[in-house]
A and B are shown apart, each in its own frame.
Chain A
Amino acid sequence: MDIRLPEAEPSDEERIAIDALLGPPESAWDGGSRGRSRDSHVSYGGRAARERRHLLLPALQALQARVGWISEGGLGYVCARLSVPPADAWGVATFYALLATEPRPRRVVHVCDDIACRARGARALTAAIESECGAPLPHAENGGHIALDRERPAWMRSPCLGLCDAVPAALVTEAGTSPIERQLGNVTIGLVRSLLAGAAPPKTDGAAEAMVPQRGDPALRLLARAGSVDPTRLDAYRAAGGGKALARALELGPERVIAEVVESKLVGRGGAAFPTGRKWDAVRRQPATPHYLICNADESEPGTFKDRVLLTHDPFAVVESMAIAGFATGCEKGYLYLRAEYPLAHERIGNALSQMRRAGMLGENILGRGVRFDIEIRRGAGAYICGEETAIFESIEGKRGEPRNKPPYPVQHGLFGKPTVVNNVETLANIPRIVLEGGAAFARTGTAQSTGTRLFCLSGNVARPGVYEVACGTTLGALLELAGGVPNGRRLAAILLGGAAGAFVRPDELGLRLTHEDTRAAGVTLGSGVVMVFDETVDLHDAVLRIAAFFRDESCGQCVPCRVGTVRQEEALHRIAGGCARGGVAAELALIDEIGVAMRDGSICGLGQTAYAAVESAVKRLRLFPTAERKKS
């Protein structure tokens, strides 16, 4: 490959940031200086460099963290080091919302204005910030190109930050030699004002956000340790019973472990509800090697924060579960793909990995039994789509997070073209119990078809928002009661079940049992466990508009139905909301339905296929947009 690099040179800062990740360059061929290191008359780099293509996203993230944006010189240096064509790298850099390809201030405060935060004051907050501190980035008038003072902090609006139990939420990022990333809950205008004035962001150990309202309840399984056992110390985890499942799994052997998982009837908790045992068995049987395991921790579905609680407050359990899954499916390497917005989870998982490596629970010879498995953390960079199970492969491979068409399925042709098992964090967190108790015992909880317990993310207008663990089959009403119901004597207006890709349900549907079979029969979905509660004071039209905007922003743009359909859907909803429906509201709703059906039938991936789901439920279940005829009756 003959690469033409940009002429701009990297700054020293940029060089240092990249070399810290990739090591120093070997010769002039991969970005080093001529004649100083290895012989420049011989070509090094080349294929060896291209085989490190998967480091492109970490390299771009290193520039972002050190400098605050990706300059021409920085991009060119990364391209030289990894032998990636600059146009290709530019395509990747411009795909991710948290990578800046124009100068951006070193410190940026990302303020969530997504549905859960909007239900409780985020619109007032962003309006106040805008009037006091100025317009958010990117400034529209120049298409994002503005001259700015990079030392002066700025703010941006953000989609859901996964902190819906402590709204309004914000994420502070500050580039530099010691970059800062901090997720903040219960944000006030005063806090944003001080952050924009340069004050240090308050420290957080996640406790304020560790809303596990059921903490201490002996019936808890997945949340048994969250909030009550020190998440930073392996010995505390072991003292609380952790680590036994891995030892037991190694005794049982892969086949028995998979048999137990099959018998448990565990299905994926990320949204698609695929039987975990079947997936594992399919990967285990694939002759092609190596096999890869991916723990999907790119939790970005608006209103979802259950995985954050597990990753932050029970990190050792996530790692142990991955080790068991890797052992059972014949993987020696696992990736934990973590959304960028969870810096504390990153720190805790990193700590868990190093302690467990030291204790021989990961690495070349796990528990002295000759089993090899290790885990690498990969971080997202602000793209909801990367939680899609094939987009996650593209992202880890250093490409734009564009989903693949299926088939071929990941169990045959996944990461780097190899058999790959992708499991959600919560799905994996069920594994230790299944290994220790057996699949049959696990399946005794819940219903015949939906076994075990599930985590639900209660947010919006509930008395005690947080993550709740209940047996499958619990009714929506009982769950709502557990969270204290709608506070302040207000009336329940609607519940968004399953997230932006889920559906609204009405207050008269609280008898719905939270199982896959019941929700399917009712035409809704459990999705990723979102239960977002809206009381009568919430502007549901605004929530629907925000969901439509979300899908437009997060569409990868690859296929036509989703790329243009999400735009047309949002436009039509705005016409209705603005009182300028073309041909009447009924005609607009029919148009939206036509677009929605084409998105569902024709899109490549689950994002496009569900981009109409919540809107459709708002129209058909909530009857949120009365047409002229309906008004008369």
Chain B
Amino acid sequence: MNPQMAPSRKGESEPRRASARPAVELAIDGRTVSVPEGTTILGACRGIGIEIPTLCYLETLRPVNVCRLCMVEVDGSRVLVPSCSRPVEAGMKVHTGTERVRHTRKLVLELLASSVDLSTTPGIDALLQEYGCRPERFGPRAAAADAGVRDGAVAGHHEPPDPRTAATVAQPVKVDNDLYVRDYGKCILCYKCVEACGPDHQNTFAIAVAGRGFEARISTEMAVTLPDSACVYCGNCIAVCPTGALMVRSEFDMRAAGTWDEARQTKTDTICPYCGVGCTLTLHVQDGQIVKASSPLANDITRGNLCIKGRFGWRFVQPRERDGRAREGDACA
């Protein structure tokens, strides 16, 4: 799927195909650019090599424009504009690096970094540095909430803030099955997992955003555990998670043991051995052991998606004795 054609989740219906679309001329940072109608500002910028940071955007999902990191300034617009979802218009004048743009991006990064654990978010340190972020200026982080407290928050009510600390979404990791963990202390609420589980990819609808405001959270119905939910363990939510809040169990356990080392890993593309679809499978191998399986986002067939077998059903490849992590009762070993 052409990422530039992605319609907004709550936006207009599918734009026409690229070939049928007339060109639109606009100015980006003073440069005149011509792109097919329906292209997003982000697509137009990337087309001419202007890098715009994103968190909630992914080329395989419909843009939800909630993280507000990709904001740009458009002449005539009272407020900044999310470049990931806004289609270009003829004569538009876009500015991607103004003081206003940099200010909002900096604050978005600081607000997230002060309230969410971004320690496993790829690329975040460089961004925090580039925008001169000092998330610690909001105060020391508050202690983590007890298990279940955030899941039970009541809309429209909150305790008066503690002036000594800055509120966070920190909470215990949800480990309720053998295949993947949910560490919502790392969740930036980008909605990607909800979209991947729901209408954009899997159509399982096991999770949704619940609650409101700062207490908004990703949840199953009644916050039940995954085995009690509609989850089918395809792991397509893990594939789209930008922060490592959703993580395969093998990676989570190795990180806990201090043995996870991406520098020592190789990635090898192969074909999933299970069914006739033949999904492309990327095996992540460390020290001669498969430690994770994924599928390339750019693959036309999978678009990064797999099923429970492809994503988790590879442990038979390596003998149980040699796999220190394999345990009795492993669901897919």
Contact = CB atoms under 8 A, between A and B. Distances in A.
Nearest to B10: A404
B84 to A, nearest CB: 10
The CB with the most chain A CB atoms within 10 A, among B11, B139, B149, B209, is that of B209
Nearest to B111: A564
A140 B155 CA distance: 13
A222 interface: no
Contacts, number: 235
Contacts of A575: 139, 163
Contacts of B152: 102, 142-145
Interface in A57-97: 72, 75, 85-91, 94-97
Interface string A411-453: 0010001000000000000000000000000000000000000
A594 B167 CA distance: 18
A629 B5 CA distance: 55
B146 A143 contact: yes
A3 B68 contact: no
A555 B212 contact: yes
Nearest to B224: A6
B205 A555 contact: no
Contact of B157 (A138, A394, A564, A570): A138
A458 B273 CA distance: 73
A565 interface: yes
A567 B139 contact: no
Given A3-B205, A91-B208, A143 B107 contact: no
Which size class do A's interface residues fall under? 35 or more
A390 B65 CA distance: 15
Interface stretch (A232-240, A459-467, A602-610): A602-610
B209 A568 contact: no
A591 interface: yes
Interface in B263-277: none
B214 A552 contact: yes
A557 interface: yes
Nearest to B191: A558
A582 interface: yes
A589 B112 CA distance: 20
A602 B163 contact: no
Given A88-B208, A405-B10, A559 B107 contact: no
A553 B158 CA distance: 7
Contacts of A221: none
A541 interface: no
A557 B138 CA distance: 19
Contacts of B10: 390, 394, 404-405
Contact of B205 (A72, A87, A408): A87
A594 B104 CA distance: 9
A428 to B, nearest CB: 26
Interface stretch (B174-182, B215-223, B280-288): B215-223
Interface residues of B, number: 73
B108 A560 contact: yes
A305 to B, nearest CB: 19
A284 interface: no
Contact of B85 (A89, A405, A553): A405
The CB with the most chain B CB atoms within 10 A, among A1, A553, A566, A594, is that of A553
A582 B204 CA distance: 47
A549 interface: yes
A553 B213 CA distance: 6
A144 B221 contact: no
Nearest to B89: A407
Contacts of B204: 2
Contacts of A143: 145-146, 148-153
B322 interface: no
A556 B214 CA distance: 8
A87 B211 contact: no
B104 A578 contact: no
B213 A598 contact: no
A586 to B, nearest CB: 14
Interface string A576-599: 001010100000000100110110
A612 to B, nearest CB: 12
Given A86-B230, A564-B112, A553 B156 contact: yes
A560 B80 CA distance: 14
B210 A94 contact: yes
Given A143-B152, A602-B80, A561 B214 contact: no
B164 A557 contact: no
Given A90-B210, A549-B158, A552-B158, A557 B222 contact: no
A575 B71 CA distance: 30
Interface in B180-216: 188-189, 198, 203-216
Contacts of A552: 158, 213-214
B319 interface: no
Contact of A89 (B68, B157, B221): B221
A580 B164 CA distance: 8
Contacts of B325: none
A3 B230 CA distance: 7
B8 interface: yes
B102 to A, nearest CB: 11
A382 B209 CA distance: 18
Contacts of B303: none
Contacts of A609: 79
Contacts of A4: 206, 229-230
Contact of B103 (A404, A407, A597): A597
A616 interface: no
Contact of B206 (A72, A87, A140, A601): A87
A602 B71 contact: yes
A156 B158 CA distance: 12
B321 interface: no
A159 B71 CA distance: 32
A574 B139 CA distance: 12
B219 A559 contact: no
B111 A85 contact: no
A91 B209 contact: yes
B161 A574 contact: yes
A568 B110 CA distance: 11
Contact of B214 (A94, A138, A566): A566
Contact of A604 (B65, B158, B207, B209): B65
Nearest to B157: A138
The CB with the most chain A CB atoms within 10 A, among B138, B139, B146, is that of B138
B108 to A, nearest CB: 5
A560 B214 contact: no
A595 B137 CA distance: 12
The CB with the most chain A CB atoms within 10 A, among B11, B65, B68, B153, is that of B68
Nearest to A598: B107
A558 to B, nearest CB: 5
A563 interface: yes
A400 interface: yes
A87 B220 contact: yes
The CB with the most chain B CB atoms within 10 A, among A560, A595, A603, is that of A560
19 contacts: A75-B221, A86-B230, A94-B211, A97-B212, A102-B154, A143-B148, A143-B149, A143-B151, A144-B152, A382-B156, A405-B10, A405-B85, A553-B156, A563-B189, A566-B214, A568-B166, A598-B108, A602-B79, A604-B65
Interface of B: 8, 10-13, 65-69, 71, 79-80, 82, 85-86, 100, 103-104, 106-108, 111-112, 114-115, 137-139, 145-146, 148-161, 163-164, 166-167, 188-189, 198, 203-216, 219-222, 224, 229-230
Given A142-B152, A560-B67, A566-B214, 12 more contacts: A87-B220, A143-B150, A407-B86, A553-B212, A559-B66, A560-B189, A561-B108, A563-B213, A564-B112, A571-B166, A602-B68, A603-B68
Interface of A: 1-4, 6, 72, 75, 85-91, 94-97, 100-102, 137-138, 140, 142-145, 156-157, 159, 382-383, 390, 394, 400, 404-405, 407-408, 413, 417, 549, 552-561, 563-568, 570-572, 574-575, 578, 580, 582, 591, 594-595, 597-598, 600-604, 609
Cβ-closest 8 pairs across A and B: A557-B216, A97-B156, A85-B205, A598-B107, A86-B221, A91-B208, A143-B149, A143-B152
